[in-house]
Structure 1
Amino acid sequence: MCPGFRTEPNPSARASHGGSAWKMAELSAIRQELAVPFCGGIRGGLRPGKKITIMGVVNADPDSFDISLTCGCGDVALDMCVRFEDREILRNACVSDSWGKEERSIPYFPFIAEQPFRVEIHCEHPRFRVFVDGHQLFDFYHRVTPVAAIDTIQISGSLTITKLN
């Protein structure tokens, strides 16, 4: 699906009861860590009303991390690049191999090294509305249509993914 990306649970993760990483991924009550970089399918694609939740922990001494929503390995509907040195979150889209205008404005920088976070990406009719730890951070208006074509999520960089819905 996505070259260079893993699509299975982190093989070094272990369930407390001695189960395999695969078994652990099936048990919602046990912490789940996914291998980074990660690439996985969005069942049925996106649609207004659908929400993606990413829970994780920022690594110690982080550089950056990326969350991308794509149409397979083609168009990029949302590329969210979190940069720690500049304390900024860059957003953009790539349609037919052409990157659009980058967006940077955020009211605050919510990510802290070695701290957990929860990112929610809400798909609405005209836009993605992104929340971090329950606070709205930014809106990103759709540049890829139809949104149902958005069927893949890719996550990479200085983070550990503990849960993905």
Structure 2
Amino acid sequence: MSTTINHVAIPSSIFIPGGMFPGRIVRVKGRTPHGARRFGLDFQYNNDIAFHFNPRFTDGHIVRNHYISGSWGNEETSGGLPLRRGHRFEIVFVCHYDRFKVMLNGEHFTDFIHRVPFHRITHFTVGRDIIITEIDFEGTPPPTDYLVLSEENVF
């Protein structure tokens, strides 16, 4: 199952067709303007954020976090900022049972351990200094009985 969205308006909140599940890949292609300061890619549900991915060119790192009931969690900032202003990029998020794996331009960047169960995520939001040419939602969900059994073991 694959869905492609081209030329995404900024800001945008996109319903994730079929939801999040282990093996789901979200591939984001685009570029940043030359004067970019920061942008955000968020996996959301309701008004909360399960995974906030926030490259900050002015600070030289990428913040990863979550936002629940009006409060931010502990930021992760290791790994520097392997993106450059004014350049094209491809960011790939791969959902696993216990984490997101994040690839930047074909290289592993980080893992973000789920702080919120992945099955709650319903939307992917995009904002600030970014131009998105394409977002692909890829993958086939595992059988329901397998997913439920595995979730009980993880959460």
The structure with more strand, counted as a fraction of residues: 2
* 1:78 corresponds to: 51
Which of 58, 81, 90 is 2:32 aligned to?
58
Please give the secondary structure, in 2, of the residue aligned with 1:122: strand
* 1:45 corresponds to: 19
* 1:102 corresponds to: 75
Shift >2 Å, 4+ stretches = 95-98
Amino acid at match of 1:136: H
Asked if the contact 2:25/2:94 (under 8 Å) is kept, the reply is yes
1:126 and 1:65 map into 2 onto residues whose CA distance is 25
1:75 and 1:120 map into 2 onto residues whose CA distance is 22
* 1:141 corresponds to: 113
TM-score by length of 2: 0.81
Asked if the contact 2:36/2:129 (under 8 Å) is kept, the reply is yes
Structure 1 unaligned blocks of 5 or more: 1-25
Amino acid at match of 1:93: H
Q: Deviations over 1:135-158 (max 9, x none)?
A: 01111100112x111010011111
* 2:97 corresponds to: 125
Which of 119, 122, 126 is 1:151 aligned to?
122
Q: Deviations over 1:9-58 (max 9, x none)?
A: xxxxxxxxxxxxxxxxx9x8xxx421111110001210111010000011
Please give the secondary structure, in 2, of the residue aligned with 1:163: strand
TM-score by length of 1: 0.76
Q: Deviations over 1:67-121 (max 9, x none)?
A: 00001x3221101111101211001012233321111111x42211221000000
1:122 and 1:45 map into 2 onto residues whose CA distance is 13
* 2:8 corresponds to: 34
1:111 and 1:162 map into 2 onto residues whose CA distance is 16
Paired-residue identity, % = 30
Rg (Cα) greater in structure? 1
Pairwise CA RMSD: 1.8
**More RCO (CA 8 Å, sep 6+):** 2
